[in-house]
Amino acid sequence: MKYDPDKHHRRSIRLPGYDYSQSGAYFVTICAYQRQCLFGDVVDGQMVLNQYGNVVADEWKKSSVIRKEIKLDEWVVMPNHFHGIVIINNTTVGANGRSPLLRGCTHPQMKPKSLSSLMAGFKSIATKKINILRGTPGTPLWQRNYYEHIIRNPDAMNKIRQYIIHNPVSWSVDQLHPHHPSKW
Protein backbone atom coordinates (compact mmCIF):
# COMPACT_ATOMS: atom_id res chain seq x y z
CA MET A 1 0.00 0.00 0.00
CA LYS A 2 1.35 3.40 -0.98
CA TYR A 3 1.97 5.91 1.82
CA ASP A 4 -0.81 8.48 2.12
CA PRO A 5 -0.03 11.25 4.66
CA ASP A 6 -3.75 11.89 5.20
CA LYS A 7 -4.32 8.27 6.26
CA HIS A 8 -0.95 7.17 7.57
CA HIS A 9 0.10 9.97 9.90
CA ARG A 10 1.65 9.04 13.22
CA ARG A 11 0.54 10.75 16.38
CA SER A 12 2.92 11.33 19.24
CA ILE A 13 2.28 9.22 22.29
CA ARG A 14 4.07 11.76 24.50
CA LEU A 15 2.23 14.04 26.91
CA PRO A 16 1.85 17.35 25.05
CA GLY A 17 3.88 20.15 26.58
CA TYR A 18 5.66 17.91 29.09
CA ASP A 19 9.43 18.35 29.42
CA TYR A 20 10.90 14.83 29.39
CA SER A 21 14.28 16.17 30.46
CA GLN A 22 12.97 17.38 33.81
CA SER A 23 13.75 15.46 36.96
CA GLY A 24 11.31 12.63 37.62
CA ALA A 25 10.67 8.91 37.37
CA TYR A 26 9.62 7.24 34.12
CA PHE A 27 8.48 3.72 33.25
CA VAL A 28 9.60 2.66 29.76
CA THR A 29 8.86 -0.31 27.54
CA ILE A 30 10.48 -1.10 24.22
CA CYS A 31 9.57 -4.04 22.01
CA ALA A 32 11.76 -6.06 19.71
CA TYR A 33 11.13 -5.51 16.02
CA GLN A 34 7.98 -7.41 15.01
CA ARG A 35 7.91 -8.73 18.59
CA GLN A 36 10.49 -11.38 17.74
CA CYS A 37 11.68 -13.36 20.77
CA LEU A 38 15.36 -12.48 20.46
CA PHE A 39 16.63 -12.02 24.02
CA GLY A 40 16.17 -15.41 25.68
CA ASP A 41 13.43 -17.54 27.24
CA VAL A 42 11.36 -17.63 30.39
CA VAL A 43 12.04 -20.92 32.19
CA ASP A 44 10.12 -21.76 35.37
CA GLY A 45 9.13 -18.13 35.85
CA GLN A 46 12.69 -16.81 35.46
CA MET A 47 14.10 -14.94 32.49
CA VAL A 48 17.14 -16.73 31.04
CA LEU A 49 19.04 -14.32 28.82
CA ASN A 50 20.85 -15.46 25.69
CA GLN A 51 23.83 -13.56 24.25
CA TYR A 52 21.57 -10.89 22.75
CA GLY A 53 19.65 -10.46 25.99
CA ASN A 54 22.95 -10.09 27.83
CA VAL A 55 23.93 -7.28 25.45
CA VAL A 56 20.63 -5.50 26.20
CA ALA A 57 21.18 -5.93 29.96
CA ASP A 58 24.81 -4.79 29.81
CA GLU A 59 24.02 -1.71 27.72
CA TRP A 60 21.14 -0.75 30.01
CA LYS A 61 23.43 -0.95 33.04
CA LYS A 62 26.05 1.16 31.23
CA SER A 63 23.43 3.86 30.62
CA SER A 64 23.65 5.16 34.17
CA VAL A 65 27.45 5.18 34.01
CA ILE A 66 27.51 7.12 30.74
CA ARG A 67 24.64 9.46 31.65
CA LYS A 68 25.25 10.86 35.12
CA GLU A 69 21.79 12.45 35.22
CA ILE A 70 19.99 9.10 35.38
CA LYS A 71 19.56 6.38 37.95
CA LEU A 72 18.18 2.99 37.03
CA ASP A 73 15.54 1.41 39.20
CA GLU A 74 13.84 -1.96 38.52
CA TRP A 75 14.17 -3.33 35.00
CA VAL A 76 13.81 -6.61 33.15
CA VAL A 77 14.75 -7.97 29.74
CA MET A 78 11.98 -10.24 28.46
CA PRO A 79 12.07 -12.52 25.39
CA ASN A 80 10.72 -9.81 23.07
CA HIS A 81 10.63 -6.62 25.09
CA PHE A 82 12.24 -4.60 27.85
CA HIS A 83 10.73 -2.79 30.84
CA GLY A 84 12.58 -0.32 33.04
CA ILE A 85 12.20 2.52 35.48
CA VAL A 86 14.47 5.50 34.92
CA ILE A 87 14.92 8.32 37.39
CA ILE A 88 16.21 11.54 35.86
CA ASN A 89 17.93 14.03 38.15
CA ASN A 90 18.78 16.75 35.70
CA THR A 91 20.89 19.09 37.80
CA THR A 92 24.12 18.41 35.91
CA VAL A 93 25.33 20.09 32.72
CA GLY A 94 26.75 18.35 29.66
CA ALA A 95 26.13 16.65 26.33
CA ASN A 96 23.29 14.27 25.60
CA GLY A 97 25.50 11.30 24.74
CA ARG A 98 24.66 11.40 21.03
CA SER A 99 26.37 13.04 18.10
CA PRO A 100 25.05 16.40 16.94
CA LEU A 101 22.94 16.36 13.81
CA LEU A 102 24.63 17.06 10.54
CA ARG A 103 24.03 20.36 8.79
CA GLY A 104 20.98 20.27 6.61
CA CYS A 105 19.41 17.38 8.50
CA THR A 106 15.66 17.84 8.71
CA HIS A 107 15.15 15.84 11.91
CA PRO A 108 14.76 17.93 15.05
CA GLN A 109 17.55 17.57 17.57
CA MET A 110 16.49 15.80 20.75
CA LYS A 111 16.74 17.63 24.01
CA PRO A 112 19.96 16.86 25.89
CA LYS A 113 19.65 14.72 29.02
CA SER A 114 16.08 13.78 28.18
CA LEU A 115 14.27 10.47 28.21
CA SER A 116 14.29 10.44 24.40
CA SER A 117 18.06 11.00 24.35
CA LEU A 118 18.57 8.08 26.74
CA MET A 119 16.28 5.75 24.81
CA ALA A 120 17.74 6.67 21.41
CA GLY A 121 21.29 6.08 22.62
CA PHE A 122 20.41 2.82 24.36
CA LYS A 123 18.47 1.42 21.41
CA SER A 124 21.20 2.46 18.99
CA ILE A 125 24.15 0.85 20.80
CA ALA A 126 22.24 -2.33 21.63
CA THR A 127 21.19 -2.64 17.98
CA LYS A 128 24.71 -2.07 16.72
CA LYS A 129 26.28 -4.63 19.07
CA ILE A 130 23.63 -7.30 18.52
CA ASN A 131 23.74 -6.84 14.75
CA ILE A 132 27.51 -7.37 14.86
CA LEU A 133 26.94 -10.63 16.76
CA ARG A 134 24.20 -11.69 14.31
CA GLY A 135 26.12 -10.57 11.25
CA THR A 136 23.10 -8.49 10.21
CA PRO A 137 24.21 -4.85 9.82
CA GLY A 138 21.35 -2.42 9.33
CA THR A 139 18.67 -4.85 10.52
CA PRO A 140 16.12 -3.35 12.92
CA LEU A 141 16.28 -4.71 16.45
CA TRP A 142 13.59 -2.58 18.07
CA GLN A 143 10.12 -1.41 17.10
CA ARG A 144 9.90 2.30 16.33
CA ASN A 145 9.57 4.51 19.39
CA TYR A 146 8.93 3.32 22.94
CA TYR A 147 6.15 3.42 25.51
CA GLU A 148 6.63 5.70 28.50
CA HIS A 149 4.65 6.51 31.59
CA ILE A 150 5.42 9.36 33.98
CA ILE A 151 5.49 7.96 37.52
CA ARG A 152 3.83 10.57 39.69
CA ASN A 153 3.77 9.13 43.22
CA PRO A 154 5.23 6.41 45.48
CA ASP A 155 2.19 4.12 45.14
CA ALA A 156 2.46 4.15 41.35
CA MET A 157 6.22 3.53 41.63
CA ASN A 158 5.66 0.48 43.85
CA LYS A 159 2.96 -0.96 41.55
CA ILE A 160 5.21 -0.58 38.52
CA ARG A 161 8.16 -2.13 40.37
CA GLN A 162 6.00 -5.14 41.25
CA TYR A 163 4.82 -5.41 37.64
CA ILE A 164 8.43 -5.48 36.42
CA ILE A 165 9.58 -7.95 39.07
CA HIS A 166 6.68 -10.33 38.33
CA ASN A 167 6.79 -9.97 34.54
CA PRO A 168 8.73 -13.23 33.94
CA VAL A 169 6.33 -15.19 36.19
CA SER A 170 3.33 -13.91 34.22
CA TRP A 171 4.95 -14.31 30.78
CA SER A 172 2.49 -16.97 29.62
CA VAL A 173 -0.41 -14.51 29.93
CA ASP A 174 1.54 -11.35 29.03
CA GLN A 175 -0.05 -9.20 26.32
CA LEU A 176 3.33 -9.10 24.57
CA HIS A 177 3.65 -12.90 24.49
CA PRO A 178 3.72 -13.97 20.83
CA HIS A 179 0.77 -16.36 21.30
CA HIS A 180 -1.62 -13.71 22.60
CA PRO A 181 -3.43 -10.90 20.84
CA SER A 182 -2.03 -7.57 21.91
CA LYS A 183 -3.09 -3.98 22.13
CA TRP A 184 0.50 -3.05 21.19
pLDDT in tens, 82-118: 999 999 997 754 444 444 444 444 444 556 688 989 9
Q: How many CB atoms lie within 10 A of CB 166?
A: 12
C-alpha–C-alpha distance, residues 87 and 67, integer Å: 11
- Low-confidence residues in the chain, pLDDT < 50: 8-9, 93-108, 184
Domain that residue 64 falls in: 24-96+109-169
Position 85 in a domain: yes
Position 55 in a domain: yes
Position 117 in a domain: yes
Output the pLDDT for position 128.
Answer: 97
Which phi and psi angles does 150 have, rounded to 5°?
A: -80, 125
Position 41 in a domain: yes
Give, in degrees to the nearest 5, the angle at Cα 147 between 57 and 108.
100
Output the pLDDT for position 57.
Answer: 98
Output the pLDDT for position 83.
Answer: 98
Could you tell me which of 69, 175, 47 has the C-alpha nearest to residue 121?
69
Position 184 in a domain: no
- Between the CA of residue 137 and those of 32, 42, 60, 127, what are the distances in Å? 16, 27, 21, 9
C-alpha–C-alpha distance, residues 58 and 93, integer Å: 25
Position 72 in a domain: yes
Output the pLDDT for position 20.
Answer: 73
pLDDT in tens, 70-80: 999 999 999 99
Position 138 in a domain: yes
| Tally of domains in the chain | 1
Position 2 in a domain: no
Q: Residue 83: give its domain's CATH number.
A: 3.30.70.1290
